[in-house]
Structure 1
Amino acid sequence: MRIYLQTQVAAAESPRYYDIILQQDLLGGWTLYREWGQQGGRSSSKREVYLERDDALTAFAQARDAQVKRGFRVMFSQGLEAPHAR
């Protein structure tokens, strides 16, 4: 699963982005990757590992919801169960 979020484009600066990716690993666990920053500028990332699918999906939804509350908009989503912004 993947969701790419972005802020409104302002004339003075590049938009900020937040990319959230959830992948199953080879051992059956789940890894949540997050990357954020300003397009064309510096970025940061974080990786979290979950043993249970439900825990990983909950973390994915919480990460998405937190960014939507901060004003980010979903620009792209991918995956059979790609959640949509509320």
Structure 2
Amino acid sequence: MKTLYLEKSVPSRNCQRYYRLDLSPDLFGRWVLCRAWGRIGRRACEMRESFPERSTALVALRRLYRQKRRRGYN
């Protein structure tokens, strides 16, 4: 299981957000990438994607991580 947690805080714009990526195997041998995001302290929105192999799931996780880093998440 792998979890990445990113935050973005811009006080001048009242922006306090987070983005969480969780990668874990399911009961059927597939890999599930769960994304959760929202305002810090509020209920999250979630999306789950299923992948047949760990390597393809890791590619998706890295792509999303790079994308969020470019958008100012740390």
Q: Where on the TM-score scale, by shorter chain, does this alignment land: which range?
A: 0.7 to 0.9
Look up the SS of the partner of 1:17 in the other structure: strand
- Give the equivalent residue in structure 1 for 2:48: 47
Paired residues in the alignment total 73
- Give the equivalent residue in structure 2 for 1:28: 29
- Give the equivalent residue in structure 2 for 1:58: 59
Q: CA RMSD in A?
A: 1.7
Alpha-carbon displacement from aligned partner over 1:18-77 (angstroms, at most 9, x marks no partner): 00000011221100000000012343111000001111000110111110010000xxxx
More helix by share: 2
Q: Any stretches of 5+ residues in structure 2 without a counterpart? A: none
Contact 2:8 2:16 in 1 (8 A): yes
More strand by share: 2
Give structure 1 regions of 4+ aligned residues with deviation exceeding 3 angstroms: 11-14
Contact 2:9 2:15 in 1 (8 A): no
Hey, what's the Cα distance between the residues in 2 that align with 1:61 and 1:16? 19
Q: Any stretches of 5+ residues in structure 1 without a counterpart? A: 74-86
Contact 2:8 2:15 in 1 (8 A): no
The TM-score normalised by the length of structure 1 is 0.76
Look up the SS of the partner of 1:22 in the other structure: strand
Hey, what's the Cα distance between the residues in 2 that align with 1:16 and 1:65? 16
Q: How high is the sequence identity, in percent, across the aligned residues?
A: 36
